[in-house]
């Protein structure tokens, strides 16, 4: 099993949304929902599908919970701001996806997440999420690449809130939509990263 944690100490950047959508793209996957807010678990309750399995687990119990999983991929949704548990989760994962929304306040807060990644000696990559559909991000990407690789950009699309309220991923809601294409591209990039490293 390959374990990937979706992290950011800034709230509301799209960690839970990305976790759900990548878990569906991954197919053979389980979600460990470590956030007491339980966004992924709530979404799972709205799904008719069996997969992905969603296990709610306190952040401090991730190591134990991981031993019981049998899926090919395990995606861990994390809560913002909890540093100690974030370091422990990062150390239990092959890769951390640092989710970032383009914006000054998000950039100001990025240092705290990067410090946790360094403290954990984590392998990490960025996911730029909720970018304006037309925004030119080349300067931001260049700055981020000084720290970790940056995957294909995910832009702000109405399909995300629409799908989530139906308990669906964007590629189940509208498989030909731009949101689905961007998520699939991002997942392909992650898969190659994890398998080739
Ligand atoms: N690419 C996107 N396009 C449009 N809306 C998005 C996108 N990604 C996330 N959202 C929306 O942004 C909001 C916050 O997303 P989400 O709850 O996944 O963030 P989070 O990082 O998990 O938040 P928290 O830190 O509170 O756990 C939600 O309303 C979600 O539908
Ligand atoms: Mg969340």
List pLDDT tens digits, range 113-160: 999 999 999 999 999 999 999 999 999 999 999 999 999 999 999 999
| Residue that is written with structure tokens 């470590």 in the block | 34
How does pLDDT run across 78-115, given as a tens digit for each residue? 999 778 899 999 999 999 999 999 999 999 999 999 99
**Residue 196 confidence (pLDDT):** 79
Pocket test for ligand 1, best of 13, 14, 135 (most atoms within 8 A of CB): 14
Contact 75, 6 (CB under 8 A): yes
Q: Which CATH number fits domain 2-196: 3.90.180.10, 3.40.50.300, 3.90.1150.10, 3.30.56.10?
A: 3.40.50.300
The domain segmentation of the chain, as residue ranges, is: 2-196
Q: State pTM to two decimals.
A: 0.98
**Residue 124 confidence (pLDDT):** 98
197 pLDDT above the threshold of 80:
no
Looking at every residue in the chain, the average pLDDT score rounds to: 96
The answer for residues whose C-beta is within 8 angstroms of residue 144's C-beta and 6 or more apart is 100, 126, 128, 150
CA distance 1 to 73: 5
**What residues are in contact with ligand 1 under a 6 Å CB criterion?**
11-17, 35, 37, 39, 80, 129-130, 154, 156-157, 160-161, 164
Instruction: Give the number of whichever ligand sits closest to the CA of residue 164.
Output: 1
How does pLDDT run across 149-176, given as a tens digit for each residue? 999 999 999 999 999 999 999 999 999 9
């Amino acid at each position: 099993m390959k374990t990937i944690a979706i992290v950011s100490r800034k709230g509301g950047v799209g960690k839970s949304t990305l976790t759900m959508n990548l878990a569906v793209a991954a197919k053979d996957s389980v979600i460990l929902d470590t956030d007491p807010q339980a966004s992924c678990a709530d979404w799972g309750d709205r799904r008719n599908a069996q997969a992905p399995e969603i296990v709610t687990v306190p952040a401090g119990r991730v190591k134990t919970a991981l031993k019981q999983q049998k899926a090919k991929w395990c995606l861990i949704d994390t809560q913002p701001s909890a540093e100690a548990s974030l370091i422990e989760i990062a150390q239990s994962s092959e890769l951390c996806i640092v989710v970032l929304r383009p914006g000054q306040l998000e950039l100001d807060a990025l240092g705290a997440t990067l410090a946790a990644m360094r403290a954990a000696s984590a392998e990490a990559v960025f996911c730029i999420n909720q970018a304006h559909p037309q925004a030119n991000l080349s300067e931001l990407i260049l700055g981020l690449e000084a720290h970790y690789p940056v995957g294909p950009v995910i832009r702000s699309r109405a399909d995300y809130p629409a799908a989530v309220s139906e308990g669906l991923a964007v590629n189940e809601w509208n498989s030909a939509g731009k949101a689905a294409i961007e998520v699939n591209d991002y997942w392909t990039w992650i898969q190659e990263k994890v398998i080739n490293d």
